[in-house]
Structure formats: C-alpha cells, structure tokens
C-alpha cells in the first residue's frame, strides 16, 4: 500500500517535471523567434498579397484585388471613373 502510493507520487512528480521542461523549451523557442530580425520586404516589382475590394459607383461592378505591386494599390478605373474601396463586412 505504501509502495503503491510512493510510486504514484513519483509518477506524478516525473510527469510534472517533463511538462515543466516542455513548457520551458516552448517559451524559449517563442521568445527566440520573436527576437529575430524582421522579414525583409519583397524586392521592387514583386507582387504582394493584398485583400482589397472595389466597387464602381456608376454601374455597381465589384472587384476583389488579391495581388498588387505595393501594399496600397491605386484604385482601378471602370466606366471612366475611379472605383471606390468597399469596407470589409466582417473584421
């Protein structure tokens, strides 16, 4: 009875130590990843991922832009007018 209780306690302590080491290493890995240098911006002329929606005020045509040469692309033209940015429905 006493031996089973001691073994059970040793197992719990061992599992606690293993969990502590896993949490410790995970924390240091996250801190190491955050302290690294920032990612270099893409070279000029390379396309970047964007998610911008435009709507034509004249006819109502909508357009979703997913790739652009810069982060803030100029609005496209439709019906000889600049299209307006449509705010996202859900943030």
> What is the tens place of the pLDDT at every residue in 23-51?
999 999 999 988 888 878 777 778 888 88
pTM over 0.75: no
Q: Tell me the per-residue pLDDT of 1-23, one tens digit each, with 9 for 90 and over.
A: 677 788 889 999 999 999 999 99
What is the C-alpha to C-alpha distance for residues 46 and 68, in angstroms, rounded to an integer? 8
73 band by pLDDT with thresholds 50, 70 and 90 = confident
CA distance 53 to 62: 7
Paired residues of 67 in beta bridges:
49
């Amino acid at each position: 009875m006493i031996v089973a209780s001691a073994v059970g306690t040793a197992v719990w302590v061992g599992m606690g130590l293993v969990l502590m080491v896993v949490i410790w290493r995970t924390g240091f890995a996250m801190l190491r990843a955050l302290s690294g240098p920032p990612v270099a911006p893409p070279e000029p002329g390379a396309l970047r991922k964007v998610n911008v929606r435009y709507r034509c005020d004249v006819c109502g045509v909508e357009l979703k832009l997913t790739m652009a040469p810069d982060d803030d692309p100029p609005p496209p033209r439709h019906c000889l007018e600049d299209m307006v940015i449509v705010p996202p429905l859900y943030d």
